């Protein structure tokens, strides 16, 4: 009897210890606002918006200590519209992130699932569109470089290194999952960053093969690396970028350059571009270049101001386009988890451009080469 009681007591102790070494966290962010747009298909518009800066989401994040600096990790993250409660990311339950893997304090992490590419991980935080200081509406035209993570990579295996004296690197491969089409809708990317004092520099590359277009070998594989939320419908997309920012006192300034090359281009898919119905280009290739200068300043611990200017040019066969976009945001923290913000975006394309002005995330393009949007919003984190 005494032995039985002792075994039961020890079992309870070990179960408690194991439980103490595991954790699951529920987290999220809700971003709701009212947006005024001066021109959407030749009409002004007042609308309630969700995720004008950061997409509304909730998620579960967990870790289990396996000993020796090794742990099992997972993340399941859902994206939704706070204005109507619908699922985002092409109606996926966990469309923002869904992965599981192993992480080592010394060697880094290997994860499998639906994940961000290296452009998002490394270059994104240096552009205002990849931060809380700009987000969705500050994206480069059509989010052509994916710095605003318009899409994620399915079927992906990802490696993220540990931090080696400020240097980090990583790579990702997204499988096509097609028996007779290994390259039909696959993806791969790699990137690195270095932080020293107030300086942060990063560079990354991403390539998508057959991301929405038929190939010579087979029809588009909808079960591959990207589907339903990819920005471009093309046989091949190659995107790379680099940037740097420097923080001194309450101020941070930065520069970002990125470019995207597309071959076998059919157009821009609905949803990703923020333009209902998508956009068709009278060309089978395109080359985008983005130049961004940004800055942010903490006026007080609670009040910040941020701004960016982006110049984008595109070669669409014999057609040439230019975008000038000016972005400005101010935010005031009511608490550690809640803030209010006011931001404005002005975008102008060149006269006679084949695509009208279209600020990312608004849902409709202008009827001419100019568009202005002003949003007042509230963000709450939990």
What's the average model confidence in pLDDT over 7-30? Answer: 66
Q: Are the beta carbons of 225 and 239 closer than 8 angstroms? A: no
Q: Which two tokens stand for residue 165?
A: 């004296």
Task: Give DSSP secondary structure letters for 294-315.
Answer: EEEEESSSSEEEEEEEEEEEEE
Q: Given this model, what pLDDT does residue 104 score?
A: 97
Q: Is the pLDDT of residue 217 over 90?
A: no
301 burial type by CB count under 10 A (0-12 exposed, 13-18 middle, 19+ buried): exposed
Confidence of residue 112 (pLDDT cuts 50, 70, 90): very high
Across residues 124-146, what is the average pLDDT? 96
Note the pLDDT of residue 274.
45
- Judged by average pLDDT, the poorest of 17-31, 128-142, 239-253, 335-349 is 17-31
Q: What is the pLDDT of residues 172-206, one digit of tens each?
A: 999 999 998 888 999 999 999 999 999 999 999 99
Residue 319 Cα to chain centre, angstroms: 29
Q: How many CB atoms lie within 10 A of CB 130?
A: 24
- Yes or no: say if 96 and 89 are a contact pair by the CB < 8 Å rule: yes
Whether the per-residue pLDDT at 268 is higher than 90: the answer is no
Q: Name the fold adopted by 22-381.
A: Porin (2.40.160)
Domain positions in the chain are: 22-381
Q: What is the pTM of this model?
A: 0.89
């Amino acid at each position: 009897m005494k032995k039985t009681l002792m075994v039961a007591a020890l079992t309870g102790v070990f179960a408690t210890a194991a439980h103490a070494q595991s954790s699951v966290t529920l987290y999220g962010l809700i971003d709701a606002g009212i947006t005024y747009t001066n021109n959407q298909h030749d009409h002004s518009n007042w609308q309630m918006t969700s995720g004008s800066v950061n997409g509304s989401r909730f998620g579960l994040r967990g870790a289990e200590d396996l000993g020796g600096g090794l742990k099992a990790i997972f993340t399941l993250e859902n994206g939704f519209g706070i204005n109507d409660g619908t699922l985002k990311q092409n109606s996926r339950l966990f469309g923002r992130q869904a992965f599981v893997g192993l992480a080592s304090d010394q060697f880094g992490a290997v994860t499998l699932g639906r994940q961000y590419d290296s452009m998002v991980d490394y270059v994104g935080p240096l552009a205002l569109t990849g931060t809380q200081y700009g987000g969705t509406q500050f994206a480069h035209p059509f989010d052509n470089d994916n710095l605003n993570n318009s899409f994620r990579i399915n079927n992906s295996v990802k490696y993220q290194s540990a931090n080696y004296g400020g240097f980090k690197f990583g790579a990702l491969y997204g499988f096509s999952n097609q028996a007779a089409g290994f390259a039909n809708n696959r993806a791969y990317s790699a990137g690195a960053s270095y932080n020293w004092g107030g300086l942060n520099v990063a560079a990354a590359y991403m390539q998508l093969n057959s991301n929405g277009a038929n190939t010579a070998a087979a029809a588009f594989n909808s079960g591959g690396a990207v589907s339903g939320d990819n920005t471009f419908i093309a046989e091949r997309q190659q995107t790379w970028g680099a940037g740097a920012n420097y923080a001194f006192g309450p101020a941070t300034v930065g520069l970002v350059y990125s470019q995207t090359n597309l071959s076998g281009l059919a157009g821009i898919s609905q949803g990703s571009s923020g333009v209902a119905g998508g956009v068709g280009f009278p060309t089978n290739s395109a080359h985008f270049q983005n130049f961004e200068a940004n800055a942010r300043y903490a006026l007080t611990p609670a009040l910040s101001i941020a701004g960016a200017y982006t110049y984008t040019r595109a070669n669409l066969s014999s057609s040439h386009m230019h975008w000038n976009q000016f972005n400005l945001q101010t935010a005031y923290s009511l608490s550690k988890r809640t803030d209010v913000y006011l931001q404005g975006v002005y975008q102008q394309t060149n006269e006679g451009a084949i695509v009208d002005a279209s600020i990312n995330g608004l849902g409709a393009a202008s009827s001419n080469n100019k568009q202005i949007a002003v949003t007042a919003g509230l963000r709450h984190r939990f």
